[in-house]
Amino acid sequence: MNNKTSPRIDRDGAADLLKGLAVVFMIQVHLMEQFASPDAYESTIGTISMFLGGPACAPVFLAVMGYFLASSSRPLSYFIKRGMILFFGGIFLNIARASNLLLHIFRNDINLDPWVFIMGVDILTLAGLSLILTGLLRQVFKTKVVLYFLMAVLMVSLTRFLPQTGSDSSFITYVIAFLWGTSGWAYFPLFPWFAYVLAGYAFHLVTKQFPQVNKTDFNRSYIYFAPLWAGIIITMPWAAGITYNLSGYGGYYHHGILFFVWVILFMISYFVLIKLLDKFYGGSAIAGWIKWMGRQVTVLYVIQWLIIGNLAPLFYRTQNVFQLILWFFIVTLVTNLIGIIFIKLRAAYARK
């Protein structure tokens, strides 16, 4: 298949570039959320940072995940086992990245509820639940594309109507937080975020059932997608307002159907742009480095959170824009260096 004219997501091409860029956006937005002073957070730079850490970050991770899950021939047992590993791995990461803060809490230096940080609903826990649910759904839906799309729309649309339990720390509140809750620690609950996994899964099925999709001429894509790009740009201020609002239903973490549709259209236009960049600049050193980060996304995700999470109690909401830029380069560099060391040690251990 000709990589220049195919929209297929290749292991060493656009998918890795997409995920690598998402790693970069992820680091900067985590620094903005944790380190930024109120003035920096409320500035134009803060708004741009939150937007870059929104539609081009978590939705891309999840959609690419769903795309590759659709091509997997693994049995249900694999989806359940792998999903449980990711879910509980996410809990352990919560503890590890908040270890500095938890130590202060247990010493009674800070009066905070430790379970809010231990049971935080983040991407890894979401990925684990998504794997399990995907494994179950594919047993029922098989390759019926429409059912996956309908399920995605249903999950986004139902979020606002599901029962909430408030912000108390009861057991049922923590359970609901992982599923659809709007508690302050429920960043990526299954509703609505699993919808992006389903969208990626369905898109893969479309490319298999309708091979003509793979014949899209990306040399002329700027003509085909110009109206879509124009629409995305015009409505971007509205979307940026949602990504800037993180709390409660209607905010980024608990958005509704309109924002979901906008993000899907954004990802389509963004994917086309990345394909064009990969075509003309994919062989450059910078692109190669970004693709490497995309291939090591899970490792780098864990490392950057261990760094940022444990430094957050020391620098929480105190850094100006210039300091945030410095922190971004430092954390990105250290994350990559630790990632390289870890990968080399893991490979050496595997050879033994």
pLDDT in tens, 14-56: 889 999 999 999 999 999 999 999 999 999 999 999 999 999 9
pLDDT digits (tens, 9 = 90+) for 286-304: 999 999 999 999 999 999 9
Query: Does the pLDDT at position 10 exceed 70?
Result: no
pLDDT digits (tens, 9 = 90+) for 272-289: 889 888 888 888 999 999
At residue 247 the predicted structure's pLDDT band, cuts being 50, 70 and 90, is confident
What is the reported pLDDT for 173?
Answer: 87
Query: Does the pLDDT at position 1 exceed 60?
Result: no
Query: Does the pLDDT at position 171 exceed 90?
Result: no
What is the reported pLDDT for 228?
Answer: 86
Query: Does the pLDDT at position 86 exceed 50?
Result: yes
pLDDT digits (tens, 9 = 90+) for 318-334: 999 999 999 999 999 99
Query: Does the pLDDT at position 134 exceed 70?
Result: yes
What is the reported pLDDT for 210?
Answer: 76
What is the reported pLDDT for 312?
Answer: 94
- Map the chain to HEC letters: CCCCCCCCCCCCCHHHHHHHHHHHHHHHHHHHHHHECHHHHCCHHHHHHHHHCCCCCHHHHHHHHHHHHHCCCCCHHHHHHHHHHHHHHHHHHHHHHCHHHHHHHHCCCCCCCHHHHHCCECHHHHHHHHHHHHHHHHHHHCCCHHHHHHHHHHHHHHHHHCCCCCCCCCHHHHHHHHHCCCCCCECCCHHHHHHHHHHHHHHHHHHHHCHHHHHCCHHHHHHHCHHHHHHHHHHHHHHHHHHHCCCCCCCHHHCCHHHHHHHHHHHHHHHHHHHHHHHHHCCCHHHHHHHHHHHCHHHHHHHHHHHHHHHHHHHCCCECHHHHHHHHHHHHHHHHHHHHHHHHHHHHHHHC
At residue 168 the predicted structure's pLDDT band, cuts being 50, 70 and 90, is low
Query: Does the pLDDT at position 184 exceed 90?
Result: no
The whole-angstrom separation of Cα 269 and Cα 1 is 22
What is the reported pLDDT for 252?
Answer: 93
- In terms of average pLDDT, the best of 1-5, 13-17, 46-50, 168-172 is 46-50
At residue 165 the predicted structure's pLDDT band, cuts being 50, 70 and 90, is low
At residue 9 the predicted structure's pLDDT band, cuts being 50, 70 and 90, is very low
Q: What average pLDDT does this structure show over 310-324?
A: 95
> Which amino acid type is present at position 63?
A
What is the reported pLDDT for 224?
Answer: 73
What is the reported pLDDT for 311?
Answer: 96
At residue 11 the predicted structure's pLDDT band, cuts being 50, 70 and 90, is low
Return the bridge partners of 36, or none. Answer: 319
Percentage of the chain modeled with pLDDT above 90: 71
What is the reported pLDDT for 5?
Answer: 37
What is the reported pLDDT for 25?
Answer: 96
Query: Does the pLDDT at position 8 exceed 70?
Result: no
Q: What average pLDDT does this structure show over 99-113?
A: 91
